């Protein structure tokens, strides 16, 4: 795949850089942009981000690996994040995780062979009032049950 931002995206990078006192601060939003466009942060993507950010590649790698939400390997089209932290655990979060894991034969940070679904056991997502919860890509789903998760995932497919 050709790893390049469009001129519009490059303009957005310039805007982001300008809104901070030092342009380096724009690295997080630019990594978000890159992940959205290229799906995950491969070495080549990070190299490209380093170029547009005018930063050493090692710095980009350092930042990208610090945060769990930047993907360092390809994930599924539907990235299922299941919270198993205490509030969710008390209300069945682990059962939800096991259910998805068994059903699709994938473990933490793995994806199905067709590339559709990936699974991540996440730490508290800040939806404890609706525990147990999962997130599919960017959307939260609260008070879920295994059956409801199945429904959600079938609807997406």
Partner 1 sequence: MYKTPHLVLPKIDKLHELKTYVSNGGYEAYRKAIQGTPDEVIGTVKQSGLRGRGGACFSTGMKWSFMPKGNEKPKYLAINGDESEPGSFKDRQIFEDNPHQLIEGILIAGYAMGISKAFIYIRGEYHKWVKLMQIALADAYEAGYVGEKMKQTFGNDYSLDIIIHKGAGAYVCGEETSLMSSLEGDRAYPRIKPPFPANKGLWGMPTTINNVETIATVPAIISIGADAYSKIGAAKHPGTLLFGLSGHINRPGVYELESGIPLKELIYTVGGGIPGGKKIKAIIPGGSSMPPIHPDEIDFVYMDNESLKEFGSYIGTAGVMVMDEDTDLVKVLLRLAHFYHHESCGQCTPCREGCGWMEKLLKRMNKGEATSHDIDVLFSVASNIEGNTICALGEGAAWPVKGFIKKFRSEFELRVKPNRSFVSLNVVHGRRNTSETLVQIL
The Cα-based distances of 30 to 4, 8, 17, 65, 153 in angstroms read 13, 13, 9, 15, 30
75 in contact with partner 1 (CB under 8 A)? no
> CB of 113: closest distance to partner 1 in angstroms?
26
66 in contact with partner 1 (CB under 8 A)? yes
In order, the DSSP letters of 60-113 are HHHHHHHSTTS-SS---SEEEEEE-SHHHHTTTHHHHHHHHHHHHT--TTEE-T
What x/- string results for residues 137 through 156 when contact with partner 1 is judged by CB under 8 A?
-xxx----------------
**Contacts (CB under 8 A) with partner 1, residues 92-131:** 122-131
Question: In this structure, what token pair is assigned to residue 95?
Answer: 């059962």
Residue found by looking up tokens 């299941």 in the block: 82
> CB of 27: closest distance to partner 1 in angstroms?
4
Tell me how far apart the terminal alpha carbons of the chain are, to the nearest angstrom: 25
> CB of 100: closest distance to partner 1 in angstroms?
18
- 3-state secondary structure at position 31: helix
CB 111 within 8 A of CB 118: yes
> CB of 150: closest distance to partner 1 in angstroms?
23
Quick one: which segment of 6-14, 27-35, 103-111, 148-156 binds partner 1 (CB under 8 A)? Answer: 27-35
Among 8, 67, 147, 155, binds partner 1 (CB under 8 A): 67
Residues contributing to the site for partner 1 (CB under 8 A): 19-22, 24-29, 31-32, 62-63, 66-70, 84-87, 89-91, 122-131, 135, 138-140
């Amino acid at each position: 795949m050709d790893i390049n931002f469009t001129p519009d995206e490059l303009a957005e990078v310039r805007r982001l850089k300008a809104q901070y006192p030092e342009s380096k601060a724009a690295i997080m939003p630019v990594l978000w942009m890159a992940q959205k466009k290229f799906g995950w942060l491969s070495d080549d993507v990070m190299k490209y981000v380093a170029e547009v950010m005018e930063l050493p590649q090692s710095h980009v790698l350092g930042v990208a690996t610090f945060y769990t939400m930047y993907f360092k390997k390809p994930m599924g089209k539907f990235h299922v994040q299941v919270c198993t932290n205490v509030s969710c655990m008390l209300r069945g979060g682990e059962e939800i995780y096991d259910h998805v894991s068994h059903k699709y034969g994938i473990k933490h940070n793995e994806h199905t062979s067709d590339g559709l679904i990936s699974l991540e056991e996440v730490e508290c997502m800040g939806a404890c009032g609706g525990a147990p919860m999962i997130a599919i890509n960017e959307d939260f789903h609260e008070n879920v049950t295994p059956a409801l998760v199945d429904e959600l995932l079938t609807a997406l497919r």
